[in-house]
Structure 1
Amino acid sequence: MATLIKLYEENPNPKEIQKIVKIIRDGGLVIYPSDTVYALGCDITNNKALERVAQIKGVKLEKANFSFVCEDLSNLSDYVRQIDTKTFKILKRALPGPYTFILPGNNNLPSVFKKKKEVGIRVPDNAITRAIVRELGNPIISTSIYDEDEVIEYMTDPELIFEKWQSLVDVVIDGGYGDNVPSTVIDLTGDEPQLIREGKGGLEI
């Protein structure tokens, strides 16, 4: 049974952040707020946790397109091949913000993602999520959670999310109502940026 933890973005309680990070370190799954929709995540270095997420999403882990949530651009080189100045300037302008950027992965990717040539990177403009990643010391994965309602694609009410997901995950963070518009996905692996999905982030970057 999951724990529901209330946090305020203006000033996330450090003790609660530590509690959440301990759960994640121990292989727990977390549902957390971002600057777009609520997402399901876990530690990218924990294979068992990654398997659980893939199972929930109904996908094979090696084929799953999970984004990596980083605190900032400083640990980008841990997982991404050398990028040129033009690409870096785009990232610097847009992040933190409601974007997922697809970048060329390097050999340091966790073993289950080794076959992937590309990786989606998120640096959300949300103090709760970034505090978790900072405390953990490495990225968490991000995959959006959907609502079964045909009108609203994503679940936005943390209490309803908790009701639905409490038996599947270990902690649900109540960071207030979420958005129901996902991140804008832009592929930066080619010569020119390519829009994959238009979401909350503007296209002028």
Structure 2
Amino acid sequence: MHSPQASDINSALDVLRAGGLILYPTDTIWGIGCDATNPAAVERVYQLKGRDQSKSLIVLLDNENKLPGYVTEVPEIAYQLIEYTERPLTIVYSGAKNLAPNLVAGDGSIGIRIVDHAFCTPLLQRFRKPLVSTSANISGQPAPKNFSEISQEIIEGVDYVVSYGQDDHRESQASMVMKLEAGGKFSFLRR
């Protein structure tokens, strides 16, 4: 693998495996990321953002086949929603499992997005674990639409800042968020 982002991915992997935080581009907006199975790393994300722990964070996976590893029961419709959505879609599932407990909402639910992205996908494939992704801003401040809008406080608060995508000044949008219940009933939380 000799792509321009290969060394970037290696550096990000080293930090993630050591329980550190990365600042990275996703299929939506720039995110603060860490190992979604590491409670200490997740705690650092909450502290950096100044975010209330009762507000759960989103998790990224590279393939929907990995969903059953982190969700007790994946409703069949989830696979159709993921396949046919035109925009990045985060689905909130009930019955989260095998994730850091402080990542999961009080009701046991977790938001997961399957990403298709030049940097995230290979990173996730090599990390072989889900990644936390939360907007790269202090809680209550607007989410950055591109790298140039990320505050110095966030940049200095992570252990590694990914180079890939920093020069992309297009305005990104957050994902749609949908809550999916075990019976397949769903509702939009953010369109």
TM-score by length of 1: 0.77
- Aligned residue for 1:100? 90
Q: Which runs of 4+ in 1 moved over 6 A?
A: none
Task: State how many pairs are aligned.
Answer: 183
In the alignment, structure 1 segments of 5+ residues that lack a partner are: 1-10, 199-205
Alpha-carbon deviation of 1:59? 3.1
**After superposition, where does 1:26-41 map in structure 2 within 5 Å?**
26-41=18-33
Alpha-carbon deviation of 1:123? 1.6
Taking only aligned residues, the RMSD between alpha carbons, in angstroms, comes to 2.6
Aligned residue for 1:23, secondary structure, equals helix
Is 1:126 matched with 2:117? yes
Residue type of the partner of 1:102?
V
Residue type of the partner of 2:125?
R
Residues in 1 aligned to 2:161 and 2:148: alpha-carbon distance in whole angstroms: 9
Does the 8 A contact of 1:34 with 1:178 survive in 2?
Answer: no
Alpha-carbon deviation of 1:12? 4.9
More displaced stretch, 77-86 vs 131-140: 77-86
Does the 8 A contact of 1:68 with 1:120 survive in 2?
Answer: yes
Give the % identical residues.
Answer: 27
Residues in 1 aligned to 2:74 and 2:124: alpha-carbon distance in whole angstroms: 23
Q: 1:178 to 1:120 in 2, by over 3 A?
A: farther
Residues in 1 aligned to 2:52 and 2:153: alpha-carbon distance in whole angstroms: 23
In the alignment, structure 2 segments of 5+ residues that lack a partner are: none
Residues in 2 aligned to 1:147 and 1:48: alpha-carbon distance in whole angstroms: 19
Residues in 1 aligned to 2:148 and 2:76: alpha-carbon distance in whole angstroms: 43
Residues in 1 aligned to 2:144 and 2:103: alpha-carbon distance in whole angstroms: 28
Residue type of the partner of 1:70?
L
Q: 1:113 to 1:13 in 2, by over 3 A?
A: closer
Alpha-carbon deviation of 1:179? 3.0
